[in-house]
Amino acid sequence: MRVGISAASLYPMETEKAICHLNDLGFSLFEIFFNAYCETSAEFGALLNELRRTRGIEIKSVHPFTSALESMLLFERYERRFQEGLAFYQNYMEAARRIGAKLLVLHGQRQGAGSLSDQEYCAHYRALYALGQSLGITVAQENVWMFRSASPVFIETMRHELGKNCAFVLDTKQAVLSGYKPEVFCAAMGERLVHVHLSDHTENQSCLLPGEGTFDLKRFRRALDDIGYTGDVITEVYRKAIRNDAALRATLQVTKAIFEE
């Protein structure tokens, strides 16, 4: 395993500035959000590729800023809009490919946003996954609070229905917000888990920097080992969880010690 960080942890700092700041603190593996549509352009890709070249960094994954719209764009029955949604997300995939990223993180359908059956949802996801594969990008369903994927039972249904044509992102804070231990999602996602968003928590706080809460990170590492996980572990927190740069440096050391040993 390798450890890294989401540049969005410093939002609303602009992505390229966040990468530089975090790289100066010792991070070299990143997830980024495309926080504006212009950031999917070839010009912005060239800017990020220059950072990759000069700083020796890697951008592993991308996250669309339109996640909140995926219910309407991708997981509804209006076929014409779905086809347009696929074309729109192809732009994200092509932008990801230009900067060497391998994964696109998907939120999917918000709870109560539509009446797609599980089979219909899986059919829409299958089309997204196939499009991504054709471009060298893995579209990975994340477990997200208040979304359909908040349920480990739904994740297991996707895994059963789609087999090798699916992939998952496990977000620990989203698991906690949804009322589950992150290890439950390890079991639900199984061998199709390809990416981890890591944060810490306490009984009263759902999102802290790793090492600052009561989450048993070593036990979580064992749960990942139990399912044969060999992907990356990306720290992803909200800006308010970061006190200062020293806390970020400490988190890097904690995560390296546990997940890269």
User: Whole-model pTM?
Assistant: 0.96
Task: Tell whether the torsion through CA atoms of 116, 117, 119 and 125 is positive or negative.
Answer: positive
> Is the confidence at residue 86, as pLDDT, over 90?
yes
What distance in Å separates the CA atoms of residue 5 and residue 29, rounded to the nearest whole number? 7
Tens digits of residue pLDDT in 107-139: 999 998 777 999 999 999 999 999 999 999 999
User: In sequence order, what are the residues at sequence separation of 6 or more whose Cβ sits closer than 8 angstroms to the Cβ of residue 102?
Assistant: 60, 61, 96, 136, 137, 138
Q: Cα–chain-centroid distance for residue 9?
A: 12
Tell me the CATH number for domain 2-259.
3.20.20.150
> Is the confidence at residue 252, as pLDDT, over 80?
yes
The tokens describing 41, both together, are 């352009």
At residue 68, φ and ψ (nearest 5 deg) are: -65, -15
> Is the confidence at residue 228, as pLDDT, over 80?
yes
What distance in Å separates the CA atoms of residue 210 and residue 189, rounded to the nearest whole number? 22
Tens digits of residue pLDDT in 1-35: 999 999 999 999 999 999 999 999 999 999 999 99
pLDDT at 261 (0 to 100):
73
What distance in Å separates the CA atoms of residue 101 and residue 219, rounded to the nearest whole number? 29
Percent of the chain with pLDDT over 90: 98
Task: Name the 3-class secondary structure at 118.
Answer: helix
User: In sequence order, what are the residues at sequence separation of 6 or more whose Cβ sits closer than 8 angstroms to the Cβ of residue 188?
Assistant: 152, 153, 155, 156, 159
